Structure 1
Amino acid sequence: MSLSCSDCFSDLLCGEDSNIIFSGGGDDLTEYSSDLESCPPDVEESIAELLEEEREFAKINSPSSHQQIDVSVRAESVAWILKVQRYYCFQPLTAYLTVNYFDRFLYYHHLPKLNGWPIQLLSVACLSLAAKMEEPLVPSLLDLQVEGAKFIFESRNIQRMELLVLRVLDWRLRSISPFCYLSYFALKIDPTGTYTGFLTSRAKEIILSTVKETSFLKYRPSCIAAATILCAANDLPNFSFITVQQAESWCDGLLKDNVLSCYQLVQQMVTNNRPKKQPKVLPQLRVMTRPSITSSDSSSSSSSSLSYKRRKLNNNLWADDVK
């Protein structure tokens, strides 16, 4: 069903001009990539800068109080976001940023209703903004509302919501994510680069699973990256000896206690999400017992045999008579 929410959300009619989007208003923001390919040659210095920016960003986005949202409502929204991400084969970073915008918006802004269509509208707007930031091809706002979307919104209402999200987030859409550190941490585990592709790919899958859980919101991106890379290394026998203590030495700024607690949460989550093996059920064999022969059966069998012999004898006699 199509909703017109202009009367329901008075603050969706933002004062910003849409031309601001295309102006140089965000030139002072630092750009971050999901990989290290865009980093300067001195990787160690680049990682140190990311950690410093991460600390500053954590201070800005740590309000003392925020609007509480029901865990089940958030889980439903995140599940829908991940479905659309898989449907359009978006990058993992797109889904991560979408949930990041979603959570940060609710930290700072009060919604009149924390379920139903307002949350769905927020999810669509955040996904649209994240896709515009990371994807080369972005579906239309109407086509973006797939995979069981409960409400279908008009494009103009989604655009108004996008402007509200931009205003609440102070136009800070570039956020440091765990993906920034994966290649660097993978090379720390495997300097030869033989298994770094597997480690980063597996870690990305685990990171997408962490966005479903609110318990990971208290950890910084670098901490989540280290924990997920360690968990991915557990799947390779050659690197099962890597410990949290070793991860602490990968770069300055990683705290052993934080990485350890995050790593334990990741391990628990991976174990719970792993499909349980069904118990093997052996096919039931039907055992046939040989029936015992009673005296009556024996006598009837004997009489039948005798009768058959008599018939055969009579037939032979009849054949001789014919000759």
Structure 2
Amino acid sequence: MSYSDCLSDLLCGEESSDIFSGESPGCSTDLESHDFVEESSIASFIEDERNFVPGFDYLSRFQSQSLDASAREESVAWILKVQAYHGFQPLTAYLSVNYLDRFLYSRRLPQTDGWPWQLLSAACLSLAAKMEEPLVPSLLDLQVEGAKYIFEPRTIRRMELLVLSVLDWRLRSITPFSFTGFFACKLDPTGAYIGFLISRATEIILSNIKEASFLEYWPSSIAAAAILCAANDIPNLPLFNPEHAESWCDGLSKVRINMMSLSN
């Protein structure tokens, strides 16, 4: 079945017009709390993380306005509101946005009144919730917090299948949360502030994902920068900088960490 065929019957619950005319899972996405992984695993995550982010020219599409940055920001804001409403894990929200960005890199949404963005956001959030949440609300209950359009469950399920196809069924992605526990342990070997570092870094990460400029950075750089920013809130910790972070694991770049730190 062709891409256009798959989309031809994805109908909005409010409208009857047509919506618009690529490996096995690589790693765990579980949010690392205190179960720190081995450094060799972290190095492999860094090596593979490029496979779970949009292509290098994705950000430039927003800068050139071939993609609508304001529509993306609105969609991410809605995902975060629903995450808070249902008490979903931070990882669920991050994965939802990751699926959305990877889909948009490969497929263009139609230039309509905005409902394709809402449908894509609902489908990505539903998929992420199924991956990470022990209890997943119904597809109707998922569409809360100011959703502009309400879609029938069968419509969202069809969109889920399209997202799965475009993402080649690779939902278990490498995210910043694959690194935060390990980096927190590196920064605070005593373990006295690890819980705070992870929690604060999580807040920093989620507060930045609405910005299209966030897409310039890979998960490891985002995690390292977030941990460094979180450390700034602990007066008893010595000062750390991207040069220190670069030594935490092979593959980290102090330049990219420093650039990310400046944006927080």
Which range, TM-score by smaller chain? 0.7 to 0.9
> How many pairs are equivalent?
247
Residue equivalent to 1:50:
45
Q: CA deviation at 1:170?
A: 1.2
Instruction: Give distance in 1, aligned partners of 2:184 and 2:132.
Output: 23
Q: CA deviation at 1:169?
A: 1.1
Q: CA deviation at 1:175?
A: 1.1
Instruction: Give distance in 2, aligned partners of 1:230 and 1:263.
Output: 8
Which of 21, 25, 30 is matched with 1:29 structurally? 25
Larger radius of gyration: 1
Q: Which has the higher contact order (CA 8 A, sep 6+)?
A: 2
TM-score (norm 1): 0.71
1:8 aligns to 2:18 (yes or no): yes
Contact 1:36 1:184 in 2 (8 A): no
Q: CA deviation at 1:30?
A: 1.9
Task: Give ranges in structure 2 of 5+ residues lacking alignment.
Answer: 1-11
Instruction: Give distance in 2, aligned partners of 1:115 and 1:204.
Output: 33
Q: CA RMSD in A?
A: 2.2
Q: CA deviation at 1:243?
A: 1.5
TM-score (norm 2): 0.87
Instruction: Give distance in 2, aligned partners of 1:73 and 1:9.
Output: 17
Residue identity in the other structure for 1:2: G
Q: CA deviation at 1:114?
A: 5.7
Cα 1:199–1:106 change in 2 (3 A) is: same
Residue equivalent to 1:101:
99
Q: CA deviation at 1:36?
A: 7.0
Contact 1:3 1:154 in 2 (8 A): no
Cα 1:126–1:253 change in 2 (3 A) is: same
Contact 2:34 2:181 in 1 (8 A): no
Q: CA deviation at 1:9?
A: 3.0
Instruction: Give distance in 2, aligned partners of 1:138 and 1:57.
Output: 24
Residue equivalent to 1:170:
168
Q: CA deviation at 1:195?
A: 0.4
Residue equivalent to 2:55:
62
Residue identity in the other structure for 1:84: V
Instruction: Give distance in 2, aligned partners of 1:197 and 1:36.
Output: 8
- Runs of 4+ in structure 1 over 4 Å off: 36-40, 63-67
Which of 178, 181, 192 is matched with 2:179 structurally? 181
Instruction: Compare 68-77 and 180-189 and name the one that shifted more.
Output: 68-77
Residue identity in the other structure for 2:14: L
